[in-house]
Structure 1
Amino acid sequence: MEADTPRNSPSRDHGVRRITEAAVLSAIAHPFRNRILDALKVDGPSTASSLSKRTGQAVGSVSHHLKVLADVGLVEEVPELARDRRERWWRLVSAGFRWSRSDLAGDPVAAEAGAAAESISLTRQVERKRAWMDNSEAAGQWGDTAFATQQWLHLTPGELDELSAEIIEVLTRWSARAAPDDDAEREPVFVFAHGFPSQP
């Protein structure tokens, strides 16, 4: 599972954590913890209170799941942002994370946790797409710019790896860019892609 960076990319490991531990994968495989990670990616450092408002979950539940994520090294506290001793801010530790089935092959527990994490990720991607389809009529100009595409290609495993590198480099460049100072209103946009062997 590639979270942010392709295997052969020059920047593949720059800030991207390679995961092989079952405990970390199990933490990622939880739907709400997965959502917290996404919220921190979109919003940046946040408190449990702000994450509670963002997700609609109780502050106590958010705090519990933040502790689980902190225990496996996926999030960390940012004490310099706190205005008093009671306020606790949290941020992502890594720009992204990745794992591969070959990395987990020697550990059945980690392999199972990795498969669960990948399944949760796919489920959430499909849910987001369905939610967009159900509400796209009220989306205004976004309805004309949202896109979907698919292609059938004939590739070797190495060529598929090269293709993934090119696609993810484009997404990484757009993600890392500084937004222009043009007063235009920007919203979070979710883009996902999968490439794998299949048959019609």
Structure 2
Amino acid sequence: MPQIRDAAVLKAVAHPVRRRLLDVLRVDGPSMPSVLARCTGQAVANVSHHLRVLAEAGLIEEAPDLARNRKEHWWRMPDRSISWSVADFGDDAAGLAAADAALALDLQRQVELVSTWLGSPASREEPWTGAAFSTDGFLRLSPAELAALGAEIQQVIDRYAGRPEAPDREPVFVIGRGFPARP
């Protein structure tokens, strides 16, 4: 998983349309701007602009090998996951601002996805209603223990990532966050 350490790259991620495009490419794989426009409700020209921004940041790349003719332009994510740490931008005010914006956008996107799920008919129907989960808890951990917990959760997610499509498999969004807090 590539670790973003460049504020300009992180700034490219910290935009709602670009974040949504990354999500679609991550879940559905390589795609063309017209398909991405339908998936995101954006105009093709707007999607093309945002794809160029993501490509300039090195987050996506063109996939000419998928085109059937010269008119088709395909894009893909070379790495399906990206990450960053606010600690990598501690000495850079612009980097900290980009990291804060990216984290806020992440949280907003997570809340949006959870709200959409909870408001959907599928959230009240089997088999998904019995399979979906929500968990939280207050733990007493040191910073090192919290980092280890995060690494273990990421290992579990990585173990399930990249499974091939199957009739009973749907894209599933999983959230894991841990931070100091008081009830």
Structure-2-length-normalised TM-score: 0.94
Q: How many angstroms does 1:121 deviate by? A: 0.4
Deviation at 1:60, TM superposition (A): 1.0
Is 1:29 the counterpart of 2:17? The answer is no
Residue in structure 1 matched with residue 48 of structure 2 by the alignment:
63
The structure-2 alpha-carbon separation of the partners of 1:50 and 1:162, relative to structure 1 and needing over 3 Å to count, comes to: same
Q: 2:118 aligns with which of 133, 146, 159?
A: 133
Instruction: Measure how far apart 1:184 and its partner are.
Output: 3.2
1:39 aligns with 2:35: no
1:12 counterpart residue number: none
- Code of the aligned partner of 2:173: F
Taking the TM superposition and a 5 Å limit, the aligned residue runs for 1:67-82 are: 67-82=52-67
Kept after mapping to 2: 8 A contact 1:33/1:65: yes
Task: Report what 2:129 is aligned to.
Answer: 143
Q: Per-residue deviation at 1:110? A: 0.9
C-alpha RMSD of matched pairs (Å): 1.5
Closer, same or farther: CA 190–60 of 1 in aligned 2, 3 Å: same
Q: Is the 8 A contact 1:76 1:90 kept in 2?
A: yes
Partner of 1:155: 141
Measured in 2, the distance between the counterparts of 1:68 and 1:184 equals 35
Tell me the equivalent position of 1:164. Answer: 150
Deviation at 1:140, TM superposition (A): 1.9
Distance (whole Å) between structure 2 residues aligned to residue 122 and residue 149 of structure 1: 17
What is the SS of the residue equivalent to 2:68? coil
Cα deviation, 1:23-66, whole Å, max 9, x if unaligned, reads 11111110010000000000001010111121121111111100
Cα distance, 1:186 vs structure 2: 1.7
Give the distance between the partners of 2:150 and 2:58, measured in 1 at CA.
Answer: 27
1:187 maps to amino acid = E
The count of aligned residue pairs is: 182
Paired letter, 2:145: E
1:91 to 57, 76, 98: 76
Q: Deviations over 1:146-170 (max 9, x none)?
A: 1100111111111111111111111
Residue of structure 2 equivalent to 1:122: 107
Q: Is the 8 A contact 1:73 1:93 kept in 2?
A: no
Q: How do 1:167-182 and structure 2 match up within 5 A?
A: 167-178=153-164
> For 2:170, which of 187, 191, 198 is the aligned residue?
187
Rounded to whole Å, the distance in 2 between the matches of 1:61 and 1:185 is 34
Per-residue deviation, 1:94: 2.0
> What is the SS of the residue equivalent to 2:2?
strand
Deviations 1:45-92 (A, max 9, x none): 101011112112111111110001001110100111111111110001
Q: Report the secondary structure of 1:46's partner residue.
A: coil
